[in-house]
Amino acid sequence: TLYLYRGQAKVALNMLEEAESDYLQAYEKDSTKSEIINALASLYFAMGLYEDSHFYLDKSLKINDKDIFAHYYKGFAYFKQTKFDLA
């Protein structure tokens, strides 16, 4: 969607808060698209908001439990939180 692509452009420009707004609008329009959900998860990860990142990664894994991106970022977020037993 347009909001997803605009959000990706804003991430590239390091405009993370503005990208969040676009990603959330994309999510409101289609909450079942893993590309949108993973974009939100990786954005929150980049912002250091690991719990928010986990929330969206869990949603992504409910859609596709073999999603490599979601598994990678979920483990990495646990690592960043020093929850090594979960990583």
> CA–CA separation, 74 vs 30, rounded Å?
22
pTM: 0.92
- Contact (Cβ atoms closer than 8 angstroms) between residue 34 and residue 60: yes
Comparing CA positions, the residue from 62, 58, 53 lying closest to residue 81 is 53
What pLDDT, on the 0 to 100 scale, is given for residue 79? Answer: 93
- 86 — phi, psi (to 5°)? -95, -25
26-83 per-position pLDDT tens digit: 999 999 999 999 999 999 999 999 999 999 999 999 999 999 999 999 999 999 998 9
Pick the closest to residue 46 from 85, 13, 84 (CA basis): 13
